[in-house]
């Protein structure tokens, strides 16, 4: 039975006991509303002897007009899914446990947050990096696991850990997709049955983009035009961005070379959905 704890002290004690028993510590930070994508992270984290999952809807990573209040919350359902997927400890703190009333210290990565979601969600990655660093200091994991659907988040956290000399490995885990290609996301819960069908244009467009790049297309403009055309074809989706960046630096690449990330953010009804594919531009293609 996975224990649910709400204080930093309880986490530290449980982790210390696991370490004393010779176990390595895996950590999966989440905001709850767990789905099969989180299960995949937990299954990967099972390479450690002790797996901690956090559930915390972090207020500091939401903008004033974003969905902090309506973000889906269901601790009981999350607990049973986390348990089935092998979590040993669930850390579900209240905001007051995480942030002192006078909290005034922030972690801000300055290079990789310039484009993609960073450009459209001011302060978002500052909130993410800060809460991740806090949780890393509380849990002290050997390894932390992040889904590659949020690729920029993964790279920002990885860079922050490197730059601030934290001793843990940040591991990216492939995006879990539904059978029809839609990337798993807690925000899919906002989609009506109809909107869910419209959203399928996202994986379709990314797949087409991957194919033309693999066949040798090297103009980012041609690729983004193709994606845009597919996304807007039904007149239901609103494109926030389509960007192609270097997979390591997250800088725009013109012409396409090396490993690139093709990433989109799209409004489908009220839901803002993001997705991406990684593509290798082979020189001989």
* Calpha distance 70→135 (Å, rounded): 23
For residue 45, state whether it binds ligand PAF (rule: CB under 6 A).
Answer: no
Q: Pick the stretch among 26-34, 80-88, 176-184, 213-221 that binds ligand PAF (CB under 6 A).
A: 26-34
Residue from 42, 131, 139, 201 touching ligand PAF (CB under 6 A): that is: 131
DSSP letters, 197-264, are HHHTHHHHHHHHHHHHHHTT---HHHHHHHHHHHHHTTS-EEEEEEEEEETTT--B-SS--EEEEEEE
Q: Could you tell me the two tokens for 35?
A: 């789905």
End-to-end CA distance of the chain: 52
User: Smaller CB distance to ligand PAF: residue 5 or 227?
Assistant: 5
For residue 30, state whether it binds ligand PAF (rule: CB under 6 A).
Answer: yes
Task: Please give the sequence-ordered ranges of beta strands (E in DSSP) within 92-186, or none if there are none.
Answer: 143-147, 169-173
The count of C-alpha atoms lying within 13 angstroms of the C-alpha of 115, restricted to the half-sphere facing its C-beta, is 18
Distance of CA 160 to the CA centre of its chain: 15
User: Smaller CB distance to ligand PAF: residue 45 or 131?
Assistant: 131
Residue from 31, 42, 227, 253 touching ligand PAF (CB under 6 A): that is: 31
DSSP single-letter state for residue 59 = G
* Calpha distance 261→243 (Å, rounded): 8
For residue 37, state whether it binds ligand PAF (rule: CB under 6 A).
Answer: no
Catalytic one among 35, 38, 124, 176? Answer: 38
- Tokens 């593509």, located at residue: 279
User: Smaller CB distance to ligand PAF: residue 61 or 224?
Assistant: 61
**# residues near ligand PAF by CB under 6 A:** 10
Task: Let me know if 38 is a catalytic residue.
Answer: yes
Site for ligand PAF in 204-223 (CB under 6 A): none
User: Smaller CB distance to ligand PAF: residue 71 or 198?
Assistant: 71
Residue from 78, 109, 150, 275 touching ligand PAF (CB under 6 A): that is: 150
Q: What residues line the site for ligand PAF (CB under 6 A)? A: 29-31, 58, 61, 128, 131-132, 150, 153
Q: Please list the active-site residues.
A: 38
């Amino acid at each position: 039975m996975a224990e649910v704890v709400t204080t930093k002290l309880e986490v530290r004690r449980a982790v210390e006991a696991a370490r004393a028993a010779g176990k390595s510590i895996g950590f999966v930070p989440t905001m709850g509303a767990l789905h099969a994508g989180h299960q995949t992270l937990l299954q990967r984290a099972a390479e450690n002897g002790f797996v901690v999952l956090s559930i915390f809807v972090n207020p500091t990573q939401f903008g004033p007009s974003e969905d902090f209040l309506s973000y889906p919350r269901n601790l009981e359902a999350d607990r049973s899914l986390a348990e089935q997927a092998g979590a040993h400890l669930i850390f579900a703190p209240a905001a007051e446990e995480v942030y002192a009333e006078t909290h005034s210290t922030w972690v801000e990565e300055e290079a990789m947050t310039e484009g993609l979601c960073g450009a459209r969600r001011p302060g978002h990655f500052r909130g993410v990096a800060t809460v991740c660093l806090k949780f890393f200091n509380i849990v002290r994991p050997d390894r932390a696991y992040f889904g590659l659907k949020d690729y920029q988040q993964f790279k920002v956290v990885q860079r922050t850990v490197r730059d601030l000399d934290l001793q843990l490995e940040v591991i990216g885990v492939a995006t879990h997709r539904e059978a029809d290609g839609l990337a798993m996301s807690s925000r899919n819960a906002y989609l009506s049955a109809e909107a869910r069908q419209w959203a399928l244009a996202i994986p379709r467009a990314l797949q087409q983009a991957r194919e033309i790049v693999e066949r040798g297309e090297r103009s980012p403009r041609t690729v983004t035009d193709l994606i845009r055309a597919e996304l807007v074809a039904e007149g239901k989706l609103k494109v926030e961005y389509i960007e192609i960046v270097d997979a390591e630096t997250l800088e725009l690449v013109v012409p396409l070379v090396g490993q690139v990330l093709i990433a989109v953010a799209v409004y489908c009804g009220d839901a803002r959905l993001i997705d991406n594919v990684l593509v290798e531009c082979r020189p001989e293609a």
